[in-house]
Amino acid sequence: MVRQIVYISSSPSREEPKEIVAILAAARRNNAAEGITGLLAFVDGSFLQVLEGEADAVSRRFEIIRRDARHSFVIKLLDRDLPERMFPDWSMAWRACPADHPAAREVRAIASRGEIMPGAGDAALDALIASVFRSVPA
């Protein structure tokens, strides 16, 4: 089993943060050392991130992120065990999703509600993640 945590957080800027190169480099280095894989997407002023791996490592990484000043209003959307990873080949995949992408509207709605649409379930969030990963160029 693999533990997966999915969260969104607000960036201090609606524009893609300049420090994203440093964030990605550190995430890729730290995640590879801890056996964590996932996706980091910047979507219209918010981060959408998937962390997956061994349960303790994923929990520790999430707590570090939660306390990081570059993330505010951190909302944990999912915390679950899966039979396999969604991103097995990515220490940290990256996508910058434009504001007019259909996924951006849903991320804005999640950020304003503080949760996914009530009753939508994990499948709706999985579809959102897949949409960002597959349809936004790396």
pLDDT in tens, 32-91: 999 999 999 888 778 889 999 999 999 999 999 888 877 778 889 899 999 999 999 998
Contact 136, 97 (CB under 8 A): yes
Segment (H or E) for 75:
strand 72-82
Strand partners, 43: 46, 97
Q: What is the pLDDT of residue 115?
A: 64
Mean pLDDT of 24-30: 89
The tokens for 127 are 């579809």
Percent of the chain exceeding pLDDT 70 equals 88
Q: What is the pLDDT of residue 118?
A: 58
- Angle (CA) 21-109-79 rounded to 5° is 70
Cα within 13 Å of Cα(30), Cβ side: 16
pLDDT beyond 70 at 23: yes
